[in-house]
Structure 1
Amino acid sequence: MIDILLLAIVGIVTWCVASEGAWGAGFIFVSVLLAGLLAMNFFEPLATFLSNNITNSYAWQQRWDIIALVGLFVGFIFLFRELTVRIAPAYMQVHPLVHEVSRWGFAVMTGYIAMAFLLTALHTAPLPREFAGFTPERKNLLGMVAPDREWLGFTQYVSEKSMRKGTFGHLFDGPEYSFPQQENQIWPSFPIRYATRRGQGGAMGAAAKPASGDKADRSF
Protein backbone atom coordinates (compact mmCIF):
# COMPACT_ATOMS: atom_id res chain seq x y z
CA MET A 1 0.00 0.00 0.00
CA ILE A 2 2.69 2.50 1.01
CA ASP A 3 4.74 1.64 -2.08
CA ILE A 4 1.85 2.47 -4.42
CA LEU A 5 1.20 5.75 -2.60
CA LEU A 6 4.86 6.79 -2.83
CA LEU A 7 5.05 5.99 -6.55
CA ALA A 8 1.83 7.94 -7.11
CA ILE A 9 3.31 10.98 -5.35
CA VAL A 10 6.43 10.85 -7.52
CA GLY A 11 4.36 10.49 -10.68
CA ILE A 12 1.90 13.28 -9.91
CA VAL A 13 4.55 15.76 -8.76
CA THR A 14 6.77 14.94 -11.76
CA TRP A 15 3.95 15.52 -14.22
CA CYS A 16 2.87 18.79 -12.60
CA VAL A 17 6.40 20.21 -12.34
CA ALA A 18 7.35 19.19 -15.88
CA SER A 19 4.42 21.22 -17.19
CA GLU A 20 6.13 24.39 -15.89
CA GLY A 21 8.87 24.14 -18.51
CA ALA A 22 12.63 24.01 -18.00
CA TRP A 23 13.07 27.23 -16.02
CA GLY A 24 9.91 26.80 -13.99
CA ALA A 25 10.83 23.21 -13.11
CA GLY A 26 14.29 24.34 -12.03
CA PHE A 27 12.90 27.04 -9.77
CA ILE A 28 10.38 24.66 -8.26
CA PHE A 29 13.10 22.06 -7.61
CA VAL A 30 15.20 24.59 -5.70
CA SER A 31 12.13 25.82 -3.82
CA VAL A 32 11.10 22.33 -2.73
CA LEU A 33 14.65 21.42 -1.73
CA LEU A 34 15.15 24.54 0.40
CA ALA A 35 11.64 24.31 1.86
CA GLY A 36 12.25 20.71 2.91
CA LEU A 37 15.57 21.51 4.58
CA LEU A 38 14.20 24.51 6.47
CA ALA A 39 11.07 22.63 7.55
CA MET A 40 13.09 19.69 8.85
CA ASN A 41 15.48 21.93 10.73
CA PHE A 42 12.88 24.02 12.54
CA PHE A 43 9.68 22.01 12.89
CA GLU A 44 10.50 20.63 16.34
CA PRO A 45 11.08 24.08 17.92
CA LEU A 46 7.84 25.26 16.31
CA ALA A 47 5.96 22.18 17.53
CA THR A 48 7.28 22.81 21.05
CA PHE A 49 6.17 26.45 20.86
CA LEU A 50 2.68 25.49 19.67
CA SER A 51 2.41 22.82 22.35
CA ASN A 52 3.45 25.21 25.12
CA ASN A 53 1.22 28.07 23.98
CA ILE A 54 -1.92 26.37 22.63
CA THR A 55 -2.36 22.99 24.26
CA ASN A 56 0.18 20.65 25.82
CA SER A 57 -1.95 17.53 26.10
CA TYR A 58 -0.03 14.39 25.16
CA ALA A 59 -2.31 13.58 22.22
CA TRP A 60 -1.90 17.06 20.74
CA GLN A 61 1.85 17.05 21.29
CA GLN A 62 2.00 14.18 18.84
CA ARG A 63 -0.13 16.05 16.32
CA TRP A 64 1.84 19.31 16.54
CA ASP A 65 4.96 17.65 15.12
CA ILE A 66 3.44 16.67 11.79
CA ILE A 67 1.35 19.86 11.64
CA ALA A 68 4.48 21.98 12.13
CA LEU A 69 6.57 19.91 9.71
CA VAL A 70 4.11 19.84 6.82
CA GLY A 71 2.92 23.39 7.55
CA LEU A 72 6.44 24.81 7.34
CA PHE A 73 7.13 22.81 4.18
CA VAL A 74 4.04 24.10 2.40
CA GLY A 75 4.55 27.64 3.70
CA PHE A 76 8.17 27.84 2.53
CA ILE A 77 7.25 26.44 -0.89
CA PHE A 78 4.61 29.13 -1.38
CA LEU A 79 7.07 31.79 -0.18
CA PHE A 80 9.87 30.69 -2.50
CA ARG A 81 7.45 30.20 -5.36
CA GLU A 82 6.17 33.74 -4.95
CA LEU A 83 9.71 35.12 -4.82
CA THR A 84 10.82 33.30 -7.95
CA VAL A 85 7.72 34.40 -9.86
CA ARG A 86 8.45 38.03 -8.99
CA ILE A 87 12.21 38.12 -9.59
CA ALA A 88 12.62 35.61 -12.43
CA PRO A 89 11.46 36.01 -16.03
CA ALA A 90 8.32 34.10 -16.94
CA TYR A 91 9.96 32.44 -19.94
CA MET A 92 13.45 32.14 -21.40
CA GLN A 93 14.16 30.48 -24.72
CA VAL A 94 16.36 27.37 -24.60
CA HIS A 95 17.24 24.65 -27.09
CA PRO A 96 14.34 22.17 -27.42
CA LEU A 97 16.49 19.22 -26.35
CA VAL A 98 17.82 21.09 -23.32
CA HIS A 99 14.28 22.16 -22.52
CA GLU A 100 12.96 18.59 -22.48
CA VAL A 101 15.88 17.11 -20.57
CA SER A 102 15.86 19.93 -18.02
CA ARG A 103 12.16 20.02 -17.33
CA TRP A 104 11.84 16.26 -16.91
CA GLY A 105 15.10 15.98 -14.98
CA PHE A 106 14.12 18.69 -12.49
CA ALA A 107 10.59 17.28 -12.34
CA VAL A 108 11.75 13.78 -11.41
CA MET A 109 14.13 15.11 -8.76
CA THR A 110 11.40 17.31 -7.33
CA GLY A 111 9.00 14.37 -7.24
CA TYR A 112 11.52 12.20 -5.45
CA ILE A 113 12.34 14.87 -2.88
CA ALA A 114 8.66 15.57 -2.22
CA MET A 115 7.99 11.85 -1.79
CA ALA A 116 11.01 11.40 0.50
CA PHE A 117 9.94 14.37 2.61
CA LEU A 118 6.36 13.16 3.00
CA LEU A 119 7.58 9.65 3.83
CA THR A 120 9.80 11.17 6.51
CA ALA A 121 6.83 13.16 7.80
CA LEU A 122 4.96 9.89 8.36
CA HIS A 123 7.46 9.09 11.11
CA THR A 124 6.00 12.00 13.11
CA ALA A 125 2.35 11.13 12.46
CA PRO A 126 0.14 10.12 15.45
CA LEU A 127 -0.43 6.67 13.98
CA PRO A 128 0.53 3.13 15.00
CA ARG A 129 4.19 2.16 14.80
CA GLU A 130 3.48 0.19 11.61
CA PHE A 131 0.59 0.94 9.26
CA ALA A 132 -0.37 0.44 5.59
CA GLY A 133 2.94 -1.28 4.91
CA PHE A 134 4.99 1.50 6.52
CA THR A 135 7.67 0.20 8.86
CA PRO A 136 10.46 2.40 10.31
CA GLU A 137 13.14 -0.23 9.70
CA ARG A 138 11.96 -1.23 6.22
CA LYS A 139 13.06 0.13 2.86
CA ASN A 140 9.61 1.55 2.24
CA LEU A 141 9.88 2.03 -1.53
CA LEU A 142 9.40 -1.38 -3.15
CA GLY A 143 11.59 -2.94 -0.46
CA MET A 144 14.68 -1.68 -2.32
CA VAL A 145 15.10 2.00 -1.45
CA ALA A 146 14.69 3.98 1.77
CA PRO A 147 13.94 7.56 0.63
CA ASP A 148 13.21 8.66 4.19
CA ARG A 149 16.64 7.51 5.40
CA GLU A 150 18.28 9.21 2.41
CA TRP A 151 16.45 12.45 3.14
CA LEU A 152 17.27 12.27 6.86
CA GLY A 153 20.94 11.68 6.06
CA PHE A 154 21.03 14.60 3.62
CA THR A 155 19.25 16.88 6.08
CA GLN A 156 21.61 15.87 8.86
CA TYR A 157 24.65 16.56 6.69
CA VAL A 158 23.43 20.00 5.60
CA SER A 159 22.38 20.84 9.15
CA GLU A 160 25.79 19.97 10.57
CA LYS A 161 27.89 21.48 7.77
CA SER A 162 26.16 24.64 6.58
CA MET A 163 22.89 25.52 8.31
CA ARG A 164 24.56 25.30 11.71
CA LYS A 165 26.93 28.08 10.70
CA GLY A 166 24.14 30.50 9.89
CA THR A 167 22.31 33.03 11.99
CA PHE A 168 20.19 30.49 13.85
CA GLY A 169 22.88 27.85 14.32
CA HIS A 170 20.32 25.12 14.93
CA LEU A 171 21.26 21.44 14.66
CA PHE A 172 18.53 19.29 13.14
CA ASP A 173 18.93 16.08 15.09
CA GLY A 174 21.26 14.53 17.60
CA PRO A 175 22.59 15.50 21.02
CA GLU A 176 26.34 15.84 21.29
CA TYR A 177 28.23 13.32 23.43
CA SER A 178 31.91 12.49 23.52
CA PHE A 179 32.95 8.87 24.00
CA PRO A 180 36.47 7.43 24.24
CA GLN A 181 37.83 6.20 20.91
CA GLN A 182 34.81 7.60 19.04
CA GLU A 183 35.28 10.35 16.45
CA ASN A 184 31.55 10.93 16.10
CA GLN A 185 30.14 13.36 18.67
CA ILE A 186 26.64 13.86 17.24
CA TRP A 187 24.18 10.98 17.62
CA PRO A 188 21.00 11.37 15.52
CA SER A 189 17.96 9.42 16.67
CA PHE A 190 15.02 10.67 14.57
CA PRO A 191 13.60 7.29 13.41
CA ILE A 192 14.16 5.66 16.80
CA ARG A 193 12.53 8.48 18.78
CA TYR A 194 9.40 8.69 16.68
CA ALA A 195 9.02 4.93 16.24
CA THR A 196 9.25 4.54 20.01
CA ARG A 197 6.64 7.22 20.54
CA ARG A 198 4.21 5.60 18.12
CA GLY A 199 4.84 2.22 19.69
CA GLN A 200 3.94 3.64 23.10
CA GLY A 201 0.47 4.61 21.98
CA GLY A 202 0.72 7.15 19.21
CA ALA A 203 -2.32 5.88 17.32
CA MET A 204 -4.75 8.57 16.25
CA GLY A 205 -7.22 9.16 19.02
CA ALA A 206 -5.35 7.14 21.60
CA ALA A 207 -4.90 9.42 24.56
CA ALA A 208 -1.79 7.81 25.95
CA LYS A 209 -0.54 9.34 29.18
CA PRO A 210 2.96 10.66 29.80
CA ALA A 211 5.33 8.33 31.58
CA SER A 212 5.62 10.58 34.61
CA GLY A 213 4.48 13.97 35.85
CA ASP A 214 1.72 16.19 34.60
CA LYS A 215 3.56 17.43 31.55
CA ALA A 216 4.39 15.20 28.62
CA ASP A 217 8.00 14.61 27.71
CA ARG A 218 8.79 15.73 24.14
CA SER A 219 11.96 13.66 23.97
CA PHE A 220 9.93 11.00 22.09
Structure 2
Amino acid sequence: MHAPARFSLPGISGWQPFTKGPHSELFRAPTSKPILAKVIRPRSQPRDTLRKYVNAQARREWRSAFRLQDAGLEAPRVHGWAVSISPFAPYESILFMEEIEGFKTSLRFIRESENAADRRLFFDDLAADMARLHGHGLIHKDGHFGNIGWGSGDQLIWIDNDIRFANTPAKLEKGFLHMRQMLERTARNDVHAEEWRYFDQRLRMQLERWPKARALGATLR
Protein backbone atom coordinates (compact mmCIF):
# COMPACT_ATOMS: atom_id res chain seq x y z
CA MET A 1 0.00 0.00 0.00
CA HIS A 2 1.44 3.35 -1.09
CA ALA A 3 -0.25 6.19 0.79
CA PRO A 4 0.52 9.05 3.16
CA ALA A 5 0.73 8.01 6.82
CA ARG A 6 -2.34 10.14 7.61
CA PHE A 7 -4.59 8.02 5.36
CA SER A 8 -6.63 5.51 7.32
CA LEU A 9 -8.11 2.70 5.23
CA PRO A 10 -11.72 1.83 6.20
CA GLY A 11 -12.43 -1.72 7.33
CA ILE A 12 -13.18 -4.21 4.58
CA SER A 13 -16.73 -4.85 5.83
CA GLY A 14 -17.75 -1.25 5.11
CA TRP A 15 -17.18 -1.34 1.34
CA GLN A 16 -20.20 -1.57 -0.94
CA PRO A 17 -20.38 -2.08 -4.74
CA PHE A 18 -20.75 1.28 -6.50
CA THR A 19 -20.31 1.02 -10.28
CA LYS A 20 -18.79 -1.51 -12.68
CA GLY A 21 -17.02 -0.98 -15.97
CA PRO A 22 -15.44 -3.28 -18.56
CA HIS A 23 -12.00 -3.24 -16.92
CA SER A 24 -12.60 -2.01 -13.38
CA GLU A 25 -15.09 -1.90 -10.53
CA LEU A 26 -15.71 0.82 -7.95
CA PHE A 27 -16.51 0.14 -4.31
CA ARG A 28 -17.67 2.83 -1.89
CA ALA A 29 -16.93 3.25 1.81
CA PRO A 30 -19.63 5.50 3.35
CA THR A 31 -17.30 7.41 5.66
CA SER A 32 -17.81 11.09 6.60
CA LYS A 33 -16.04 11.91 3.33
CA PRO A 34 -16.90 8.94 1.09
CA ILE A 35 -13.96 7.05 -0.37
CA LEU A 36 -13.96 5.04 -3.58
CA ALA A 37 -11.79 2.01 -4.23
CA LYS A 38 -11.16 1.39 -7.93
CA VAL A 39 -10.29 -2.28 -8.44
CA ILE A 40 -8.53 -2.62 -11.79
CA ARG A 41 -8.44 -5.86 -13.77
CA PRO A 42 -5.75 -6.73 -16.33
CA ARG A 43 -6.65 -5.77 -19.89
CA SER A 44 -3.91 -7.62 -21.73
CA GLN A 45 -2.04 -10.72 -20.63
CA PRO A 46 0.77 -11.25 -19.91
CA ARG A 47 1.61 -7.54 -20.37
CA ASP A 48 -0.38 -6.15 -17.43
CA THR A 49 0.57 -8.96 -15.03
CA LEU A 50 4.26 -8.29 -15.70
CA ARG A 51 4.00 -4.50 -15.86
CA LYS A 52 2.00 -4.08 -12.64
CA TYR A 53 5.07 -4.57 -10.44
CA VAL A 54 6.77 -1.46 -11.88
CA ASN A 55 4.03 0.63 -13.52
CA ALA A 56 0.55 -0.55 -12.52
CA GLN A 57 -2.47 1.37 -13.76
CA ALA A 58 -3.33 2.54 -10.23
CA ARG A 59 0.16 3.97 -9.92
CA ARG A 60 -0.16 5.74 -13.29
CA GLU A 61 -3.51 7.24 -12.26
CA TRP A 62 -2.10 8.28 -8.87
CA ARG A 63 0.84 10.04 -10.51
CA SER A 64 -1.38 11.57 -13.20
CA ALA A 65 -3.74 13.12 -10.63
CA PHE A 66 -0.86 15.12 -9.16
CA ARG A 67 0.39 16.15 -12.59
CA LEU A 68 -3.06 17.48 -13.47
CA GLN A 69 -3.43 19.30 -10.17
CA ASP A 70 0.03 20.86 -10.58
CA ALA A 71 -1.14 22.15 -13.98
CA GLY A 72 -4.23 23.70 -12.41
CA LEU A 73 -6.71 21.10 -13.63
CA GLU A 74 -9.36 19.33 -11.56
CA ALA A 75 -8.94 15.63 -10.76
CA PRO A 76 -10.30 13.54 -7.90
CA ARG A 77 -8.11 13.61 -4.82
CA VAL A 78 -6.24 10.32 -4.57
CA HIS A 79 -5.46 8.73 -1.21
CA GLY A 80 -3.28 5.74 -2.08
CA TRP A 81 -2.70 2.76 -4.34
CA ALA A 82 -1.68 -0.87 -4.10
CA VAL A 83 -0.71 -3.78 -6.35
CA SER A 84 -1.78 -7.41 -6.06
CA ILE A 85 1.33 -9.43 -5.24
CA SER A 86 0.18 -12.72 -6.77
CA PRO A 87 0.52 -13.03 -10.56
CA PHE A 88 -2.69 -15.11 -10.49
CA ALA A 89 -4.85 -12.50 -8.74
CA PRO A 90 -8.02 -11.51 -10.67
CA TYR A 91 -7.16 -7.83 -10.29
CA GLU A 92 -4.01 -5.90 -11.16
CA SER A 93 -4.09 -2.95 -8.77
CA ILE A 94 -6.36 -0.76 -6.66
CA LEU A 95 -6.66 3.02 -6.35
CA PHE A 96 -8.26 4.82 -3.38
CA MET A 97 -9.74 8.23 -4.14
CA GLU A 98 -12.40 10.72 -3.12
CA GLU A 99 -15.97 10.55 -4.41
CA ILE A 100 -17.04 13.56 -6.49
CA GLU A 101 -20.54 14.73 -5.60
CA GLY A 102 -22.93 14.93 -8.54
CA PHE A 103 -20.39 13.45 -10.94
CA LYS A 104 -21.39 12.45 -14.46
CA THR A 105 -19.27 11.85 -17.53
CA SER A 106 -19.20 14.67 -20.04
CA LEU A 107 -20.53 12.21 -22.62
CA ARG A 108 -23.65 11.79 -20.50
CA PHE A 109 -23.92 15.56 -20.11
CA ILE A 110 -23.71 16.07 -23.88
CA ARG A 111 -26.35 13.42 -24.53
CA GLU A 112 -28.75 14.80 -21.92
CA SER A 113 -28.34 18.56 -22.31
CA GLU A 114 -30.37 20.32 -24.98
CA ASN A 115 -29.58 23.82 -23.71
CA ALA A 116 -27.34 25.51 -26.29
CA ALA A 117 -25.89 27.98 -23.75
CA ASP A 118 -24.96 25.19 -21.33
CA ARG A 119 -23.36 23.18 -24.11
CA ARG A 120 -21.30 26.20 -25.23
CA LEU A 121 -20.16 26.78 -21.65
CA PHE A 122 -19.04 23.16 -21.52
CA PHE A 123 -17.06 23.48 -24.77
CA ASP A 124 -15.53 26.74 -23.53
CA ASP A 125 -14.29 24.97 -20.40
CA LEU A 126 -13.07 21.95 -22.36
CA ALA A 127 -11.10 24.16 -24.75
CA ALA A 128 -9.49 26.01 -21.83
CA ASP A 129 -8.58 22.77 -20.04
CA MET A 130 -7.25 21.05 -23.14
CA ALA A 131 -5.09 24.07 -23.97
CA ARG A 132 -3.82 24.24 -20.37
CA LEU A 133 -2.97 20.52 -20.40
CA HIS A 134 -0.87 20.77 -23.54
CA GLY A 135 0.45 24.19 -22.55
CA HIS A 136 2.16 22.46 -19.63
CA GLY A 137 3.73 19.96 -22.02
CA LEU A 138 1.39 17.14 -20.98
CA ILE A 139 -0.59 14.63 -23.03
CA HIS A 140 -3.46 12.34 -22.08
CA LYS A 141 -3.12 8.82 -23.44
CA ASP A 142 -6.86 8.16 -23.06
CA GLY A 143 -8.46 11.61 -23.26
CA HIS A 144 -12.03 11.08 -24.44
CA PHE A 145 -15.46 12.26 -23.25
CA GLY A 146 -15.92 9.18 -21.07
CA ASN A 147 -12.84 10.15 -19.07
CA ILE A 148 -13.73 13.81 -18.65
CA GLY A 149 -16.35 14.37 -16.01
CA TRP A 150 -18.80 17.17 -15.30
CA GLY A 151 -19.31 17.89 -11.59
CA SER A 152 -22.24 19.37 -9.72
CA GLY A 153 -20.46 22.73 -9.68
CA ASP A 154 -20.47 22.84 -13.50
CA GLN A 155 -16.76 22.17 -13.75
CA LEU A 156 -14.68 19.66 -15.65
CA ILE A 157 -13.09 16.82 -13.68
CA TRP A 158 -10.48 14.57 -15.27
CA ILE A 159 -10.71 10.86 -14.39
CA ASP A 160 -9.11 7.55 -15.45
CA ASN A 161 -6.02 9.56 -16.17
CA ASP A 162 -2.85 8.44 -17.91
CA ILE A 163 -0.90 11.69 -18.17
CA ARG A 164 2.58 11.75 -19.70
CA PHE A 165 5.18 14.43 -20.33
CA ALA A 166 5.77 15.16 -24.02
CA ASN A 167 9.54 15.51 -24.34
CA THR A 168 9.50 17.03 -27.83
CA PRO A 169 7.18 19.32 -29.83
CA ALA A 170 6.50 16.41 -32.20
CA LYS A 171 5.30 14.19 -29.32
CA LEU A 172 3.16 17.04 -27.96
CA GLU A 173 1.52 17.49 -31.36
CA LYS A 174 0.96 13.75 -31.76
CA GLY A 175 -0.65 13.54 -28.33
CA PHE A 176 -2.80 16.60 -28.99
CA LEU A 177 -4.12 15.27 -32.30
CA HIS A 178 -4.74 11.85 -30.75
CA MET A 179 -6.88 13.40 -28.02
CA ARG A 180 -8.80 15.56 -30.48
CA GLN A 181 -9.55 12.46 -32.58
CA MET A 182 -10.64 10.46 -29.51
CA LEU A 183 -13.04 13.23 -28.50
CA GLU A 184 -14.66 13.17 -31.92
CA ARG A 185 -14.86 9.37 -32.05
CA THR A 186 -16.56 9.06 -28.66
CA ALA A 187 -19.21 11.71 -29.46
CA ARG A 188 -19.59 11.37 -33.22
CA ASN A 189 -23.39 11.23 -33.03
CA ASP A 190 -23.82 13.58 -30.08
CA VAL A 191 -22.00 16.78 -31.08
CA HIS A 192 -23.18 18.85 -34.03
CA ALA A 193 -20.77 19.98 -36.75
CA GLU A 194 -21.24 23.62 -35.80
CA GLU A 195 -20.36 22.75 -32.18
CA TRP A 196 -17.12 21.13 -33.32
CA ARG A 197 -16.30 24.28 -35.30
CA TYR A 198 -17.05 26.40 -32.24
CA PHE A 199 -14.92 24.16 -30.03
CA ASP A 200 -11.95 24.26 -32.42
CA GLN A 201 -12.25 28.05 -32.65
CA ARG A 202 -12.21 28.39 -28.87
CA LEU A 203 -9.38 25.87 -28.62
CA ARG A 204 -7.23 27.88 -31.03
CA MET A 205 -7.84 31.00 -28.97
CA GLN A 206 -6.91 29.23 -25.73
CA LEU A 207 -3.76 27.68 -27.21
CA GLU A 208 -2.47 31.18 -27.97
CA ARG A 209 -2.10 31.70 -24.22
CA TRP A 210 0.46 28.93 -23.90
CA PRO A 211 3.86 29.30 -25.63
CA LYS A 212 4.52 25.55 -25.61
CA ALA A 213 1.20 24.80 -27.28
CA ARG A 214 0.67 27.83 -29.51
CA ALA A 215 1.71 26.02 -32.69
CA LEU A 216 -0.92 23.33 -32.12
CA GLY A 217 -3.68 25.67 -33.26
CA ALA A 218 -2.46 25.34 -36.85
CA THR A 219 -3.15 21.59 -36.77
CA LEU A 220 -6.90 22.07 -36.30
CA ARG A 221 -9.20 22.06 -39.30
Question: TM-score, length-normalised on structure 1?
Answer: 0.26
Which structure shows the higher strand fraction? 2
Question: Looking at CA atoms only, which structure, 1 or 2, has the larger radius of gyration?
Answer: 1
Greater helix fraction, Structure 1 or Structure 2:
1
TM-score, structure 2 as length reference: 0.26
